[in-house]
Structures are given as C-alpha cells and as structure tokens.
C-alpha cells in the first residue's frame, strides 16, 4: 500500500497527491513529477517549483502545500478531510526533463487552481530547449 501525501489548495481542500516523486490527481492519475526543487509535467516540461513542502506555479506563486509545510509564509487554511484514497496505477516512464526558467520572486497565491493546473498544461509554462538538470528521481 502506498502512503498518500495530500497537497492542499488555498481553501484547504485536498487537491493533488505527492506519491514519492510523482504528482497525481485526486483520482490517482499521474500528472507530473518533482525532482529537486523543480516540478515537471508528465511530458517533462518545467511547470513550477517544490520547496519546503510548498508547490509553486511557473510564476512562483503558491499552488498548494503539504500539511505542516515549512515554506508557508502565508496563513494555513483549515484543512478539510481528504477524499477516499484512490487506487494508483503504474507510474509512466520519466521523460527527458526540460530546462527550468529563472525563478521569479515569490508572490502570494496562484491564480490557477491546484486541482486543474496539471490538466491545463500548466498555463504559462515555458518550454526551453532540453537540458540535463543534474536532478534525478528520488
């Protein structure tokens, strides 16, 4: 059985899952990856950052957080009970990861919803040329 680590949104709703280094939807579907400080889409595009338990979008705004995240400079909302734990399918192979852009200064909550951020293709995600980032799974 997999230990489910829920990511919560600005309203305190469990809206995504971090399964080791795999980001998943609330339905358990693979949606992206976290390697080092970077978050990537399922296709390997840089879509944000993950630091001290906080997931940031490409504009370096807070998308979501783990309970007790040290990186939360903002007020923690009251956490709502998470949905039933989904069944996880196999993780897809990790694609070649694209280079990450320069990180902007942090700036409050994202204008994107955590639950739909991955489905929308990470709006505004840059797709520079492929690069070796020196970051590896786990």
| pLDDT top residue among 133 and 4 | 4
Q: What is the pLDDT of residues 91-137, one digit of tens each?
A: 899 999 988 888 988 888 999 999 889 876 555 544 333 333 334 34
Q: Can you give the pLDDT at residue 128?
A: 37
**Average pLDDT in the 70-96 region?**
86
Give the residue, 105 or 30, on which the prediction is more confident. Answer: 30
Q: For residue 7, give Cα distances in angstroms to 25, 99, 118, 133.
A: 10, 25, 13, 25
Mean pLDDT over residues 22-38, rounded? 94
User: What HEC string does the chain produce?
Assistant: CCCCEEEECCCCCEEEEEECCEEECCCCCEEEEEECCEEEECCCCEEEEEECCEEECCCCCEEEECCCCCCCCCCCCCCCCCCCCCCCCCCCCCCCCECCCCCCCCCCECCCCHHHHCCCCCCCCCCCCECCCCCCCC
Cα 118 from Cα 69, distance rounded (Å): 21
Please report the pLDDT score of residue 135 as a whole number.
40
Structure confidence at residue 75 as a pLDDT band (50, 70, 90): confident
43, 130 Cβ separation under 8 angstroms: no
pLDDT of residue 71: 73
| C-alpha–C-alpha distance, residues 72 and 65, integer Å | 8
pLDDT at 2: 59
Q: What is the mean pLDDT of the chain?
A: 83
Write down the residue that tokens 């505004």 correspond to. Answer: 124
What's the sign of the alpha-carbon dihedral 55, 56, 57, 58? negative
pLDDT at 56: 94
């Amino acid at each position: 059985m997999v230990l489910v680590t829920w990511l919560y949104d600005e309203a305190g709703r469990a809206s995504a899952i971090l399964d080791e280094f795999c980001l998943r939807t609330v339905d358990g579907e693979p949606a992206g990856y976290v390697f080092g400080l970077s978050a990537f889409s399922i296709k390997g595009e840089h879509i944000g950052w993950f630091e001290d338990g906080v997931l940031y979008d490409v504009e370096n705004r807070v998308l979501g957080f783990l309970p007790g995240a040290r990186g939360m400079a903002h007020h923690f909302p009251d956490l709502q009970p998470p949905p039933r734990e989904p069944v996880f399918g196999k993780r897809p192979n990790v694609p070649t990861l694209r280079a990450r852009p320069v990180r902007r200064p942090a700036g409050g909550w994202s204008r994107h919803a955590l639950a739909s951020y991955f489905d929308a293709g990470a709006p505004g995600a840059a797709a520079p040329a492929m690069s070796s980032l020196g970051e590896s799974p786990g």
